């Protein structure tokens, strides 16, 4: 090739790269910000971080601000004193009140002379600091802040993360580091799921049996620990909304106080995961006396004006099978249209109204899962939609404030893209402008049947950051899934420096599983595995209890495999290029070469790994996945040769390839190969 040709090619490449970057509006974006701010203008200058920034903060009525700045500066530059560098000037108007949805707006400017943050409230300052933390760029071992002018404010006021601390108890340290993660991506509500069938995880001084006998492990938060978490969250501008899930999901309550139960059964602490439909008795006055005392205690502990009363997954079987309760429903005309069949939904609505009254008496706004929606439910109740977008829209149309969680369930192990493309108010929303105002925002939800305190971080992060961006950034500022994935690794790295253990824990588990053997082959397999999706893990022949350790290969597998995702992107681009003139371009040749290297590695891995898998009883169940990975790699290598030589695949080849891929799709040990869909595409099947 002549030198001129190389130059032309290189020039064409640069131009293409530039055009792509320009298209994505990131031609000059030196830092990966997430969530994307409403308005960003990058300059050409830079501010060196070689000297410690000097804080200029004159009046600061909010005691949270100074420590937040100090934490940031320590992470940015170390505990350097005295600060001799450029000025970091912070100005704000008043103390922000997160529980009143106070303003989080801020402006952040970096010039070669210094940094300035301006905000109407201290909440805005905290959000600006989160942005500032994502700005530093490393170049030739020197760190600098790029010149930038940012004007930012959230799209939705309620941006939550639900952490289930009931199925597996999550110690205070775990909650705290996740609060740090939330603050980093501007999530502002911790929805703390404190009670469920398997445990009542908060100390009650009024009803101490709740936390002492409700679970088999006896783990709970003391009220002092709750205060500690509340203070930690408040210092980061995060509200804490407790959930006491009722009338169902209450086996732990009933074990502790059998007078709450609806029938004559005897209950022991529940150690399985499946929904019980056990429910407390809504027909007895003593139930409300109990709740009244419990709420007196718990509403005083939690300052947030919202209080989550659950309400999900009660099919009413406890009520319908108890003659006394059936008689109550009949006597109170809680029957369906036929005038005879008792209607558990009406009884639950009655229960909700009673609970609502108890909470309103204490100035609290009640939140419930979408099952509680019904024509008789008072409008001030907030509905949290988890069973589908319909719940959200129906509730808003009935005049309820609403939260979206459907689409944001992290425990289903779906992709960040699937959450990212779920919008509470998409362009085709059926809601009127007035109804749209009722959409407060949404919450990512991390249910903990398959996440203990060790695994939790890796099931939340980094995918929750994609939800955070969807809820914070204006629709117009976000530019699609590929652009989100481009920035996600940087956020993931940031979260790690903040103390999240989402990367280190899976890797440590792999090392444990490998024992004295080289961990690399196991890592190669684990990198392309994902846990089975949705609720399938409950239904694949492996019996889980609250005592089952979550330390198998499936627990080290990422919820979304980055290796498989990148493989998919590469496959898409090679397949798109095939057949076109560009198919023979050097770019495609390079991509094909990258694919080939990857496939050769996967093909060779099985020989190294198979003996380890077979010799280790805890790994043996995963042996088929390694075999299948090698088989898929082998057929894709053949396919690449076909593509490169312009050979058509024979019918026999296609038939055998299809067989290999069908086999490779089968999960083992509740994990599955995450590359199969892309493999089918490349194979042309
Ligand atoms: C729920 O996931 N049962 C609210």
81/202 same-domain check: no
What residues contact 111, with CB distance under 8 A and at least 6 apart?
A: 43, 45, 47, 147
Chain centre distance of CA 525: 24
268/206 same-domain check: yes
Q: In the prediction, which pLDDT does 49 show?
A: 94
Which residue in 257, 352, 344, 253 sits closest to 307, CA to CA?
352
DSSP H or E run through 151: strand 142-152
How far is residue 144's CA from residue 135's CA, in Å, rounded to a whole number? 8
Q: Is 313 a catalytic residue?
A: yes
Which atom of ligand 1 is nearest the CA belonging to 445? 2
User: Cis (ω within 30 of 0) for the bond into 250?
Assistant: no
Closest residue by Cα to atom 2, ligand 1, is 386
Residue 654 belongs to a domain: yes
Q: State what percent of residues in the chain have pLDDT above 70.
A: 95
Collapsing DSSP to helix, strand or coil, 358 comes out as: helix
Q: In the prediction, which pLDDT does 359 show?
A: 98
213/269 same-domain check: yes
At 368, the pLDDT band (50, 70, 90 cuts) reads very high
528/668 same-domain check: yes
> Considering 102, 118, 152, which residue would you say is the last residue of a domain?
152
Q: In the prediction, which pLDDT does 13 show?
A: 46
How far is residue 642's CA from residue 645's CA, in Å, rounded to a whole number? 5
Q: Which whole number is the average pLDDT over 301-325?
A: 98
Chain centre distance of CA 592: 34
Check whether 214 has a pLDDT greater than 80: yes
β 365-369/158-164 pair status: unpaired
CB of 621 shorter than 6 A to ligand 1: no
Look up the CATH number of the domain holding residue 112.
Answer: 3.30.379.10
Check whether 578 has a pLDDT greater than 90: no
CA distance readout (Å), 388 to 309, 412, 447, 481: 20, 14, 17, 21
Q: What are phi and psi of 545, to 5 degrees?
A: -130, 175
Q: In the prediction, which pLDDT does 83 show?
A: 80
Cα of 445 vs centre of ligand 1, distance in Å, is 9
CB of 312 shorter than 6 A to ligand 1: yes
Residue 391 belongs to a domain: no
How far is residue 572's CA from residue 570's CA, in Å, rounded to a whole number? 5
Mean predicted lDDT score pLDDT of the chain = 94
Cα of 423 vs centre of ligand 1, distance in Å, is 19
User: How far separated are the first and last CA of the chain, in Å rounded?
Assistant: 37
How far is residue 443's CA from residue 409's CA, in Å, rounded to a whole number? 9
Q: In the prediction, which pLDDT does 21 show?
A: 47
Q: What is the pLDDT of residues 69-104, one digit of tens each?
A: 999 999 998 876 778 899 999 999 999 999 999 999
Mutation probe of ligand 1 site: the residue of 391, 447, 449, 538 with most atoms within 8 A of C-beta = 447
Q: In the prediction, which pLDDT does 579 show?
A: 64
132/20 same-domain check: yes
CB of 638 shorter than 6 A to ligand 1: no
Residue of 99, 225, 297, 313 marked catalytic: 313
C-beta of residue 387 within 8 angstroms of C-beta of residue 407:
no
132/279 same-domain check: no
How far is residue 685's CA from residue 670's CA, in Å, rounded to a whole number? 25
pTM of the predicted protein model: 0.95
Q: In the prediction, which pLDDT does 375 show?
A: 87
Closest residue by Cα to atom 1, ligand 1, is 312
Check whether 184 has a pLDDT greater than 50: yes
545/675 same-domain check: yes
> Considering 101, 134, 152, which residue would you say is the last residue of a domain?
152
User: Cis (ω within 30 of 0) for the bond into 323?
Assistant: no
Domain ranges, residue 16: 3-152
User: Strand ranges (DSSP E) for 517-654?
Assistant: 529-531
């Amino acid at each position: 090739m002549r030198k001129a040709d190389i130059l032309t090619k290189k020039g064409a490449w640069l131009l293409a790269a530039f055009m792509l970057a320009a298209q994505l509006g990131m031609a000059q974006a030196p830092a990966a910000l997430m969530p994307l701010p409403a308005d960003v203008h990058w300059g050409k200058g830079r501010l060196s971080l070689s000297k410690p920034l000097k804080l200029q903060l004159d009046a600061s009525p909010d005691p949270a601000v100074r420590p937040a700045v100090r934490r940031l500066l320590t992470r940015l530059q170390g505990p350097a004193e005295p600060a001799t560098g450029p000025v970091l000037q912070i100005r704000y108007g008043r103390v922000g009140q997160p529980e009143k949805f106070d303003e989080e707006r801020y402006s952040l400017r970096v010039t070669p002379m210094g940094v300035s943050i301006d905000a109407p409230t201290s909440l805005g300052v905290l959000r600006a600091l989160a942005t500032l933390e994502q700005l530093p760029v490393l170049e030739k071992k020197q760190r600098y802040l790029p010149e930038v002018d940012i004007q930012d404010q959230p799209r939705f006021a309620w941006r939550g993360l639900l952490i289930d601390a009931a199925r597996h108890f999550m110690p205070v340290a775990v909650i705290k580091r996740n609060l740090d993660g939330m603050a980093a991506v501007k999530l502002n509500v911790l929805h703390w799921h404190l009670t469920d069938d398997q445990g009542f995880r908060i100390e009650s001084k009024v009803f101490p049996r709740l936390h002492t006998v409700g679970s088999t492990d006896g783990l709970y938060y003391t009220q002092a620990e709750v205060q500690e978490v509340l203070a930690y969250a408040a210092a980061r501008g995060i509200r804490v909304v407790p959930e006491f899930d009722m009338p169902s999901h209450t086996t732990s309550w009933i074990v502790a106080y059998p007078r709450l139960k609806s029938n004559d059964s005897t209950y022991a602490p529940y150690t399985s995961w499946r929904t019980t439909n056990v429910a407390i008795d809504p027909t007895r006055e003593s139930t409300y006396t109990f709740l009244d005392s419990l709420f007196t205690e718990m509403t005083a502990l939690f300052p947030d004006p919202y209080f989550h009363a659950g309400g999900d997954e009660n099919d009413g079987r406890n009520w319908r099978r108890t003659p006394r309760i059936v008689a109550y429903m009949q006597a109170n005309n809680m029957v369906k249209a036929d005038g005879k069949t008792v209607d558990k939904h009406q009884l639950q609505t009655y229960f909700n109204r009673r609970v609502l009254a108890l909470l309103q008496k204490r100035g609290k706004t009640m939140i419930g899962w979408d099952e509680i929606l019904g024509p008789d439910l008072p409008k001030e109740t907030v509905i949290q939609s988890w069973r589908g977008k319909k719940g959200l829209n129906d509730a808003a149309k009935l005049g309820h404030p609403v939260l979206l969680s459907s689409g944001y369930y992290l425990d289903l192990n779906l992709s960040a893209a699937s959450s990212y493309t779920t919008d509470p108010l998409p362009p085709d929303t059926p809601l009127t402008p007035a109804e749209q105002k009722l959409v407060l925002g949404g919450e990512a939800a991390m249910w903990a049947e398959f996440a203990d305190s060790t695994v939790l971080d890796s099931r939340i992060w980094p995918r929750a950051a994609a939800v955070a961006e969807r809820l914070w950034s204006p629709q117009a500022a976000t530019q699609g899934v590929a652009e989100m994935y481009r920035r996600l690794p940087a956020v993931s790295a940031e979260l790690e420096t903040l103390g999240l253990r989402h990367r280190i824990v899976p890797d440590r588990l792999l090392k444990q599983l490998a024992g004295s053997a080289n961990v690399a082959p196991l890592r190669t397999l684990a990198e392309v595995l994902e846990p089975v999706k949705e609720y399938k893990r409950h239904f694949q022949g492996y019996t889980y209890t609250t005592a089952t350790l979550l330390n198998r290969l499936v627990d080290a597998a990422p919820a979304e495999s980055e290796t498989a995702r990148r493989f998919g992107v590469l496959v898409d681009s090679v397949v798109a290029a095939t057949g076109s003139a560009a198919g023979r371009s050097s770019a495609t040749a390079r991509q094909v070469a990258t694919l080939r290297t990857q496939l050769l590695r996967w093909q060779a891995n099985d020989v190294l790994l198979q003996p380890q898998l077979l010799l280790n009883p805890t790994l043996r169940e995963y042996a088929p996945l390694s075999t299948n990975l090698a088989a898929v790699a082998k057929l894709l290598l053949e396919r690449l040769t076909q593509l490169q030589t312009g050979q058509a695949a024979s019918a026999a080849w296609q038939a055998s390839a299809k067989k290999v891929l069908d086999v490779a799709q089968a999960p083992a040990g509740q994990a599955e190969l995450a590359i199969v869909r892309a493999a089918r595409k490349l194979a042309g099947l």
